[in-house]
Amino acid sequence: MKINKEKKEPMKEKPCEDHEYCIKVLNLIIDGEANEAEVLFFNTHIKECLACSEYYSIEQAIREAIKKKLEKKEAPADLIQELRTKVKESTRS
Amino acid sequence: MYCKNSNFYSPAEKEHIFENEFLPHIHSIYNFAYRITFNEDDAKDLVQETYLKAFRFIDSFQKGTNAKAWLFRILKNSFINEFRKKSKEPAKVDYQEVETYYNSDEIDQPITSDLRVEAIKEKIGDEVSVALNSLDIDFRTVIILCDLEGFTYEEMAKILDIPIGTVRSRLHRARNLLRDKLKVYADSLGYK
């Protein structure tokens, strides 16, 4: 998405009537939880609204950062071993 | 959670389920435990308790169903019952303040330059962990369950014992808070 910075005019001409509603729908869409009507509304709207398309782009980047940048702690091997031993003991007692 | 009827598994079947349906999720469970306790020993205790409890009640688990959600639910209950009381929690969010802010016009002000969007996108990666950890535990939990673990809203509702509408609104607030923290960070670096 490019913007003509010299003219300082918004690229998109139809800003939201209800930005808070748009954000709700946008999150449902990214989470894969939106219904057909919400998807249809948003796909039409996002092409025309700069605020929403930017919001969408940042939200996606945040989701991606959570998936990629968060350190994944792994369960210690001794814990796994201990659990296996306890389970075996309990089924054999 | 997914099955009201009890099964009667043989000891061998129990071990098989434990090994093949429960243990494959142990890293996700441990990671979640760590992210809610911020302490490796507490996380270890919590995971141990979760798995032993899961095994004890294995007859109420229907083989081949959603073991991951079932384990997360047990973990959540164990945490509330025993750990939450003794573990130190990070600073609480002032709900009133948050709601006032998000009901104000400030939130509606759009970000207006592409340059800024790109800058924020570039920088949030570095700061996302700190920002997430600073959220109140209920908000942190829904973000982790949804974004990191990929649970659906319906699964989250079952894990957390809350209506699906509450999942939706809690997530919405959590995302606003997280975004706000990351935005403050980006601003502090001079991307305005």
Beta carbons of B121 and A54 less than 8 Å apart:
no
Give me the percent of chain A exceeding a pLDDT of 70: 84
Segment B39-68 shows an average pLDDT of 94
pLDDT by residue (tens digit) across B79-92? Answer: 988 765 665 554 44
Give pLDDT, residue A48: 84
The pLDDT confidence band at residue B115, using thresholds 50, 70 and 90, is low
Beta carbons of B121 and A57 less than 8 Å apart:
yes
**CA A26, CA B44: separation in Å to the nearest integer?**
37
Please check the confidence at residue B156 and state whether its pLDDT lies above 80.
yes
Give pLDDT, residue B99: 46
Q: Does A8 touch chain B (CB under 8 A)?
A: no
Sort residue B92 into left (φ over 0), alpha (ψ -120 to 50) or beta.
beta
| Cβ atoms of B42 and B87 closer than 8 Å | yes
Q: Does ipTM top 0.85?
A: no
**A1 vs A31, which has greater pLDDT?**
A31
